[in-house]
Amino acid sequence: MKGKAILRSLLLAYGVTGLFLLILAFLLFQFEFGGGTAAVGIIIIYVVSCLVGGFMAGKIIRKDRYIWGIVTGLSYYVLLLLVSFLAQGKWDMTFAHALTTFFMCLGGGAIGGMLS
């Protein structure tokens, strides 16, 4: 039951990510914002997606909600790293970037679980 809940939450989180990335790409193309705007947008998308996934996991499992939110955020992060590595064929992320992304995903998932 808990594994299915995490998978459903991850599916929702990645769906939100895809939708928001499409919206961000459209806005960047339409209004010709700089690269800094794209970076901020991606950070917001990571956090919001993990928050939504953590919220769903907390709603489904209903016990220790913040822990399952953290598990969802951690799963999101691991899958994000795996897909990034497989797409590029190499590790192309600084340690500081990997660490901040890790805490953003965990924090977003934990907050989502607490709010559920």
Q: What is the pTM of this model?
A: 0.91
For 27-86, what is each residue's pLDDT tens digit? 999 988 877 888 899 999 999 999 999 999 999 998 999 999 999 999 999 999 999 899
Angle between helices 65-88 and 95-115 (to 10 degrees): 150
Please report which residue ranges of 1-116 form alpha helices under DSSP H.
Answer: 2-31, 35-61, 65-88, 95-115
- 68 and 57 in contact (C-beta within 8 Å)? yes
Domain map (residue ranges) of the chain: 2-115
